[in-house]
Amino acid sequence: MRHLIEVEYIASPEPDLQAECLEIYQAEKSAGTEMPAIIGRLSAYVAAQWQRLKDARRKEEEDRLEAARLERERRLLSYGDCPWTQIKGSKCFYCRKNGRVFQLKPNSDKSWNMYRVFAVDDSEVGEMIGRYRTRADANKVVAKAAYEPEPWR
């Protein structure tokens, strides 16, 4: 019994499997099966279904994240303000704030160079703003730089 409590898929209740487990229990009980055998059958069933549910949830999460990434990419390319977004196939991250595009290029030492660019293109050479340790540090600068007057070019 201790094993049943410690196993991950048995230790936490799964509301999605409650109805099926109740049907199995009632069928086994009406057949006259003893309780340890019923528990064994239920644990085997839950183990198989738990992995299936885990895979389905992981797939749903991947789909949701991909849809959110595509939405951010669409907003960036349609000239809408958006947070840091990596265009598919690009090594750089882009952010549009107040109509201005900022680009983060990764360095070999895991720091980031931030540039003010005019197009979403990896080959675009822009004005370097600075070098930052994390994207969060660069985001703080973007929050200020996006609303400052831009120098004439």
**pLDDT score of 39:** 84
Q: Where are the domains of the chain?
A: 2-70, 79-145
What pLDDT score does 62 carry?
Answer: 97
The answer to which of 47-56, 72-81, 100-109 has the lowest mean pLDDT is: 47-56
Strands (E), 7-137: 82-86, 93-97, 100-106, 112-117, 127-132
β-pair type (127-132, 112-117): antiparallel
Higher pLDDT, 151 or 36: 36
pLDDT in tens, 92-142: 999 999 989 999 999 999 999 999 999 888 888 889 999 999 989 999 999
Average pLDDT, the chain: 87
| Section 50-61 average pLDDT | 91
Q: What is the pTM of this model?
A: 0.68
What pLDDT score does 89 carry?
85
- The pLDDT of residue 10: 55
pLDDT at residue 152 is higher than 70: no
Phi, psi torsion values for 125, nearest 5 degrees: -105, 120
Q: Which residues of 14-36 are buried (b: 16+ CB within 10 A; e: fewer)?
A: eeebeeebeebbeebeeeeeeee
pLDDT higher than threshold 80 for residue 144 = yes
pLDDT class for 3, splitting at 50, 70, 90?
A: low
